[in-house]
């Protein structure tokens, strides 16, 4: 099992070396977590080509071949350790992976420019009304504020197009949400980048609480319900958390005082636990609060805007933004 240890350790804020005393080719060295404060000389050597790690101070006790135990020694629980190893497996060949994949944003913006505002489509307006996305705000206002589009022809037709943007507001990709039940797949994404996170707005000034949900429609409706308040929303767009998504989550979560996790109602206990551990890694050991949906709903997208306001308000999450 080859692990991209350099990027994994950097993501976990664990200092490492690959040159100097105690180091050798094909290994990275850290201070041994089992030796604790007794080791300040980077005596634990982790192989980048073999399943092995070796402590030069206490080799008989602190060496081994099970990387899961090594990550547990670094402070993770078992589930988080396994998921982290899976996320960084087979990425060692590309050391530049620690930097997010470069996307030709100029080309994307040009393609995006061919699409029309979503409220110009009768079918999309009907879908938005049926899903409760419009109501308090009319379709034109929602489309303008959140940048929603549609296409009359081609692979993107009959889909609500939802943009993914960088923190600087530049277009990164987009997904097309099918507006008819029979259409498959339900979401069609412009790129194969599995690290995408949907944030309905990147204007995070004055917001203290981030609610992380599964789907873009869930995040969009929470963002509409929370306009002018301290709450922002983000969608994981899939429960698999790879290296790129972990980095983006860390950057996003660090903007907030509190982070709340709300998975769909059909998520089992182990899935909730795993995702909380993943987010704890992104938060640097801060543990996200588990925010459960009202029992009759599968996800936030099934709730009306007013129900979302009541749901968040009764938990003292939704308050007016600080001026």
List C-alpha distances in Å: 165 to 148, 169, 171, 203.
12, 5, 4, 11
pTM: 0.67
Phi first, then psi: give them for residue 22, nearest 5 degrees.
Answer: 75, 0
List the single range of 102-106, 131-135, 255-259, 309-313 with lowest mean pLDDT: 102-106
What CATH class has 101-193?
A: alpha beta
Best CA proximity match to 148, nearest among 119, 122, 173 = 119
- In the chain, helix, strand, coil percent, each to 5? 35, 20, 45
Q: Residue 70 in contact with residue 28, Cβ under 8 Å?
A: no
pLDDT at 92 over 60: no
Q: Which pLDDT score is estimated for 105?
A: 65
What whole-number distance in Å separates Cα of residue 164 and Cα of residue 235? Answer: 10
What whole-number distance in Å separates Cα of residue 109 and Cα of residue 171? Answer: 6
What whole-number distance in Å separates Cα of residue 147 and Cα of residue 179? Answer: 17
With respect to CATH, is domain 5-98 assigned 3.90.580? yes
Q: Is 7 exposed, middle or buried (0-12, 13-18, 19+ CB in 10 A)?
A: buried
Burial of 12-36, coded b for 16+ CB within 10 Å and e otherwise, reads bebebbeeeeeeeeebbbbbbbbbe
Name the token pair of 128: 């938005």
The CA-based dihedral angle spanning residues 200, 205, 211, 216, taken in that order and rounded to the nearest 10 degrees: 0
pLDDT at 181 over 80: yes
- As separate numbers, helices (DSSP H) first and strands (DSSP E) second, the chain gives 11, 12
Confidence band for 89, pLDDT divided at 50, 70 and 90: confident
pLDDT at 95 over 70: no
Tell me the mean pLDDT in the region 278-302: 83
Name the token pair of 319: 């308050």
Domain range summary for the chain, segments of one domain joined by +: 5-98, 101-193, 194-323
Per residue in 11-55, pLDDT tens? 888 899 998 887 888 899 999 988 988 888 899 999 988 889 999
Per residue in 216-228, pLDDT tens? 999 999 999 998 8
Tell me the mean pLDDT in the region 140-159: 92
Confidence band for 98, pLDDT divided at 50, 70 and 90: very low
What whole-number distance in Å separates Cα of residue 41 and Cα of residue 57? Answer: 10
> Interior CA angle at 79 toward 166 and 256, to 5°?
35
Assigned CATH topology for domain 194-323? Dna Topoisomerase Vi A Subunit; Chain: A, domain 2 (3.40.1360)
Between these two residues, 256 and 75, which has the higher pLDDT value?
A: 256
Quote the mean pLDDT of the chain: 84
Q: Is the dihedral of CA 283, 168, 188, 178 positive or negative?
A: positive
Burial of 193-207, coded b for 16+ CB within 10 Å and e otherwise, reads bebbbbbbbeeeeeb
pLDDT at 144 over 60: yes
Per residue in 134-143, pLDDT tens? 876 788 999 9
Q: Residue 32 in contact with residue 62, Cβ under 8 Å?
A: yes
pLDDT at 100 over 50: no
Q: Which pLDDT score is estimated for 97?
A: 38
Q: Which pLDDT score is estimated for 280?
A: 79
């Amino acid at each position: 099992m080859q692990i991209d240890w350099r990027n994994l350790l950097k993501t976990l804020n664990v200092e490492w070396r690959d040159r100097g005393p105690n180091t050798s080719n094909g290994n990275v060295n850290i201070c041994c977590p089992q030796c604790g404060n007794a080791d300040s000389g980077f005596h634990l050597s982790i192989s980048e080509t073999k399943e092995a790690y070796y402590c030069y101070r206490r080799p008989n006790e602190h060496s081994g071949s099970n990387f899961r135990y090594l990550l547990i020694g670094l402070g993770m629980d078992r589930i988080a350790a396994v998921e982290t190893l899976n996320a960084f497996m087979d990425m060692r060949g590309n050391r530049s992976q620690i930097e997010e994949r470069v996307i030709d944003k100029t080309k994307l913006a040009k393609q995006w420019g061919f699409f029309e505002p979503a409220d110009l489509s009768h079918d999309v307006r009907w879908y938005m009304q049926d899903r409760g996305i419009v109501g308090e705000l009319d379709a034109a206002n929602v489309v303008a504020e959140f940048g929603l589009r549609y296409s009359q022809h081609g692979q993107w037709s009959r889909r609500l197009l939802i943009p993914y943007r960088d923190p600087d507001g530049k277009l990164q990709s987009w997904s097309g949400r099918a507006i008819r039940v029979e259409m498959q797949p339900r979401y069609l994404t412009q790129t194969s980048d599995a690290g995408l996170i949907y944030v309905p707005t990147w204007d995070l000034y004055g917001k203290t609480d981030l609610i992380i949900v599964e789907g873009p429609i869930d995040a969009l409706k929470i963002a509409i319900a929370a306009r002018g308040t301290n709450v922002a929303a983000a969608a994981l767009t899939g429960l698999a958390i790879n290296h790129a998504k972990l980095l983006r989550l860390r950057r996003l979560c660090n903007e907030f005082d509190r982070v709340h996790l709300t998975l769909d109602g059909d998520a089992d206990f182990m899935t909730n636990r795993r995702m909380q551990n993943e987010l704890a890694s992104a938060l640097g050991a801060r543990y996200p609060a588990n925010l459960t949906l009202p029992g009759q709903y599968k996800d936030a997208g099934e709730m009306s805007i007013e129900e979302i306001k009541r749901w968040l308000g009764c938990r003292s999450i939704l308050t007016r933004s600080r001026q």
